[in-house]
């Protein structure tokens, strides 16, 4: 049976291969279509991504160690009726030794231009699925916590004493993806 996580709750993951899935539904009558984007930042002991390819998103679907794979962009949130809108598969056995944390972030594409925020999104969640069995292991539902935010740090996998754990972070920001890149990457972004 899956664990329903609360904000800040931490669990031992106990898996090597998993899918981190994200889902959402836009509220009706909010105007322009919602395009939520899932991203993963593979962070080292200095709290930085060691190189640009360790930032995994719809434009860079695979990490250089092949531990993470983004399954693709869903620009509408329309997949939720049959599964996760966007997902990132994770194989912890392949994660580069220097990586200590994998941060999962969801941003609203062009939130400022479209005048959108997470207050206009319902049923948003992050869940961990054991890819060997297909069973949901844990789920964190955002609820009504973020009324004006345009980005949310949903959760993170982190290494402690050689074991991987998961924390349901649930931290909201009035920022875009560029904010997270500036925070976690000090190198030059190649466009």
Pick the CATH number of 3-184 from 2.60.60.30, 1.10.1060.10, 3.40.190.10, 3.30.2130.30: 2.60.60.30
Provide the mean pLDDT of the chain: 85
What is the phi/psi pair of residue 114, to 5°? -95, 0
The 10s digit of each residue's pLDDT in 147-165 is: 788 888 889 999 998 899 9
Domain ranges across the chain:
3-184
DSSP letter for each residue of 66-118: S-EEE----SSSTTGGGS-SEEEEEEGGGS-TTEEEEEEEEEETTHHHHT--G
What does pTM read for this prediction? 0.87
Q: What share of the chain in percent tops pLDDT 70? A: 87
Pick the closest to residue 153 from 130, 116, 124, 131 (CA basis): 124
Query: 102 with 43: CB under 8 angstroms?
Result: yes
DSSP three-state, residue 179: helix
Question: Which pLDDT tens digit goes with each residue over 163-191?
Answer: 999 998 888 888 888 888 889 987 755 54
SS3 170: strand
pLDDT in tens, 3-14: 888 888 999 988
pLDDT digits 0-9 by tens, 28-67: 665 677 778 889 999 999 999 999 999 999 899 999 999 9
pLDDT at 79 over 50: no
Structure confidence by residue, pLDDT tens digits, 81-115: 557 888 999 999 999 999 999 999 988 888 888 88
């Amino acid at each position: 049976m899956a664990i329903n996580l609360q904000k800040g709750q931490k669990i031992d993951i106990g898996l090597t291969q998993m899918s981190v899935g994200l889902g959402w539904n836009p509220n009706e009558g909010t105007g322009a279509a919602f395009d939520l984007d899932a991203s993963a930042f593979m962070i080292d002991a200095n709290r930085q991504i060691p190189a640009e390819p360790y930032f995994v998103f719809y434009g860079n679907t695979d990490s250089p160690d092949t531990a993470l794979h983004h399954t693709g962009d869903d620009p509408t949130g329309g997949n939720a009726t049959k599964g996760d809108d966007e997902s990132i598969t994770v194989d912890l056995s392949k994660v580069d030794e220097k990586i200590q944390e994998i941060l999962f972030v969801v941003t609203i594409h062009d939130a400022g231009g479209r005048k959108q925020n997470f207050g206009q999104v319902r049923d948003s969640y992050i869940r961990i699925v054991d890819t060997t069995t297909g069973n949901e292991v844990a789920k964190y539902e955002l609820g009504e916590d973020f009324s004006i935010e345009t980005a949310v740090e949903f959760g993170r996998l982190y290494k402690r004493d050689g074991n991987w754990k998961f924390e349901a972070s649930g931290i909201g920001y009035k920022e875009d993806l560029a904010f997270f890149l500036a925070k976690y990457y000090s190198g030059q972004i190649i466009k």
